[in-house]
Structure 1
Amino acid sequence: MTRIQANLLLTLIAMIWGSAFVAQAHGMEAMGPMMFTGIRFLIGALVVLPLIVRERRAPSALPLRGGDALKIVGLGVLLTLGAVLQQIGIQYTTVTNAGFLTALYVPLVPLLGWALLRHLPHWSVWPGAAACLIGAFLLSGAHELDIGLGDAWVIASALPWAVHVLLVGQVADRMNSPFTVAGGQFLFCGLVSLAWALCFEPWSWSGIQAATGPLLYTGVLSVGVAFTAQVVAQRYAHAADAAIILSSETLFAAVFGYLLMGDRLNAAGLLGCALILGAMLLIQLLPMLRVLRPRAA
């Protein structure tokens, strides 16, 4: 897979995630955040299970070592923290605010990459990250930041999301087992979240049945398809580029709101869409220019 193909796959992932925010909010009407997170990630683990079996049976498959299991567990911890903190926040804030505040991980990825791994990103990452943040803010329709309880929870999720985006591609590439990495972290997140919910959250079978639609949508598409595709794509995409592209879930959330729910954007919202789209094109087209220049010479 080329870097351009990986970026296009990340764009598709952002489209799926953008459509999932509404489903997550609806699912919370019938159950607590830990129960919803646990069930949807276990559904995602079941979706990717056939791919794991095929991957482990392949002649080129390398045996898993103890260190590999620890790496998968580490990714599972980050995934659990990010998903749960975001899901708790969605209870107390709007879907639009959650979409914008989640995008705060975008500038954190290149900063952490430089601080922890000494990876100096291409210059285009910095204006791209700034454009994504400003665009997401304009798209949210907010005129000022009034940070409430739910917003604080979503902001807290930005750090584990950033570290996860930074590391997931590297771990999958070194192990050469992207589906095993994906399914392992889903299983960890699902079991930990479900165990917590069974001990500390009120729940009922009727609530689970009422949330069947959101659970299946987010479990199959958002987790099973999109999160797995993220692991695959980030083996070939730079982490900072991936963060910018994935942040376009805010843009796609607005598009689905327009098509399915009759939402309409004002001038500021349209400008926000343009900024996010411009940032995506910037970091996707520049690598193509670097390839084309030597050929032209």
Structure 2
Amino acid sequence: MNRVQANLLLTAVALIWGSAFVAQSRGMADVGPLLFTGVRFLVGALVVLPLAVLEWRRLRRDGRPLVRRDGMHILGLGLLMTLGAVMQQVGIQFTSVTNAGFLTALYVPLVPVLGWLLLGHVAHWAAWPAALGCLAGAFLLSGAHELRIGLGDLWVAGSAIPWAVHVLMVGRWADRMAAPFLVACGQFAVCGLLSLLAAGLAEPVRWASLQAAAWPIAYTGVLSVGVAFTAQVVAQRYAQAADAAIILSAETLFAAAFGALLLGERLTPAGLLGCSLMLACILLVQLLPLVGTLRAKRARILTSQSESL
């Protein structure tokens, strides 16, 4: 998979995640955030399990079984996913879907900053203005003049920190193990089991409530977790973390589009401006590095031709 294909796959991930905000919000009418998160991530783990088993057998056949350190990395990703998903889900109970979409996008500028601070990665210069532009676009899309910071907003904003670290590390560790499906399935299982354990201690767990929330759980479990999060792990083996964060921030844009399509919501002029700004930033971060690569390639060809003469 090349860089362009990886970015297109990440765009599809953002589309699925954007559509899932409505389902996540509706699911809260029947079950608590911990129970909802636990069940949907276990559903996602079951979706990926057959591919993970095949990958496990392939690694053993090739003499490259996973070691203890790999298991610790998967556990770490699962813990980050648990923190991000639960904090976001708790916050959605007390804030609007629009505000939640904007505040989740706070992880976009955090990824290049944390990449620089923790790993010493220097992102392409286009990532910095693009990250800030995406954040500003999401702010306009949310209806900036109406944004009020409440308890739910603080929960969702806090979830941006574990999500940023997760985006930063998931591609790095999945590539090192050469096992994207095992990584995906393992982190889903960790997140699901921890969330269910917490739900058993802190929330009422009723079969009737789960039946009432079956469709939101199924949609977010199969598509948002099983398909989209797995695709993220696969794509980020071939994409820069800062670029991936910016492309994934388009989930805010897609959330607004699905709100208009399914719920009859209409974008304000500021919202349309925010959509345009985010699209421009996503294109910026994808196209500018390609321009530099093409220029370098052309320079090498010209140098080679001149030396041959």
TM-score, length-normalised on structure 2?
0.94
86, 89, 94: which is aligned to 1:87?
89
Partner of 1:27: 27
Q: Give the superposition deviation at 1:295.
A: 4.6
Q: Which residue of 2 aligns with 1:75?
A: 77
RMSD: 1.1
- Alpha-carbon distance in structure 1 between the residues aligned to 2:203 and 2:231: 31
Could you tell me which residue of structure 1 aligns to residue 16 of structure 2?
Answer: 16
| Structure 1 letter corresponding to 2:270 | A
Question: Structure 1 CA distance, aligned partners of 2:148 and 2:108?
Answer: 21
Who is 2:46 aligned against?
A: 46
Contact 2:124 2:289 in 1 (8 A): no
What secondary structure sits across from 2:4 in the alignment? helix
**1:60 Cα deviation (Å)?**
3.4
Distance in 1 of aligned mates of 2:215 and 2:240: 34
Deviation at residue 289 of structure 1 after TM alignment = 1.5
* Residue 61 (structure 1) shift: 6.3
CA distance in 2, matches of 1:279, 1:61: 43
1:219, 1:203 → 2: CA distance? 18
Matched, 1:122 2:105: no
Instruction: Identify the range of structure 1 (149-158 vs 52-61) with the bigger mean alpha-carbon deviation.
Output: 52-61
The residue aligned with 1:248 is 250
**Secondary structure of the equivalent of 1:174?**
helix
- C-alpha displacement of 1:89: 0.1
Residue 260 of structure 2 corresponds to 258
Q: Distance in 1 between matches of 2:110 and 2:71?
A: 26
Structure 1: distance between partners of 2:137 and 2:253:
9
Identify unmatched segments of 5+ residues in structure 2.
300-309
2:195 maps to which residue? 193
Give CA-to-partner distance per residue, 1:194-239, whole Å, 9 cap, x none.
0111122012111100000000000000000000000000001000
Q: Match for 1:81: what amino acid?
A: L
Tell me how far apart the structure 1 counterparts of residues 212 and 228 of structure 2 sit (CA, whole Å): 24
- Counterpart in the other structure of 2:99: 97
Shift of 1:288: 2.3
CA 1:221–1:76: 2 relative to 1, 3 Å: same
State the 1:291 CA deviation.
3.1
Aligned to 2:65: 63
Moved over 3 A (4+): 294-297
Q: Please name the residue that 2:307 is paired with.
A: none
The CA deviation at 1:57 is 1.6
Name which of structure 1's ranges 217-226 and 145-154 shifts more when overlaid on structure 2.
145-154
Aligned residues of 1:55 and 1:61 also touching (Cα < 8 A): no
Given that 2:104 and 2:160 are in contact with CA atoms closer than 8 Å, whether structure 1 keeps it comes out as yes
Residue of structure 1 aligned with 2:294, choices 272, 289, 292: 292
Stretch deviating more after TM superposition (105-114 or 50-59):
50-59
Residues in 2 aligned to 1:61 and 1:213: alpha-carbon distance in whole angstroms: 42
Does the CA-based 8 Å contact 2:105-2:135 persist in structure 1?
A: yes
8 Å CA contact 2:16–2:223 kept in 1: the answer is yes
Q: Distance in 1 between matches of 2:152 and 2:62?
A: 46
Query: Is the deviation greater in 252-261 or in 122-131?
Result: 252-261
Cα distance in structure 1, aligned partners of 2:294 and 2:62: 34
Corresponding residue number in structure 2 for 1:143: 145
Partner amino acid, structure 2, of 1:217: Y
Larger CA deviation: 191-200 vs 221-230: 191-200
After alignment, is 77-86 or 278-287 more displaced?
278-287
Output the CA distance in 2 between the equivalents of 1:44 and 1:242: 21
AA paired with 2:145? Answer: H
SS of equivalent to 1:143? helix
Unaligned runs of 5+ in 1: none
Question: Equivalent of 2:210, from 208, 215, 229?
Answer: 208
Select the structure of larger CA radius of gyration.
2
For the 8 Å contact 1:78–1:160, the answer to whether it is kept is: yes
Q: Secondary structure at the match of 2:31?
A: coil
Percent identical among aligned pairs is: 68
Q: CA deviation at 1:170?
A: 0.5
**For residues 62 and 129 of structure 2, what CA distance do their matches in structure 1 show?**
41
Amino acid at match of 1:7: N
Query: In the comparison of the two structures, how many residue pairs are matched?
Result: 297
Residues of 1 paired with 2:151 and 2:275: CA distance?
A: 27
Deviations 1:236-293 (A, max 9, x none): 1000000000011000011111222211111100000001100110011123223332
Could you say which residue in structure 2 is the equivalent of 1:112?
A: 114
Q: Is the 8 A contact 2:52 2:181 kept in 1?
A: yes
Deviates more, 1:281-290 or 1:48-57: 281-290
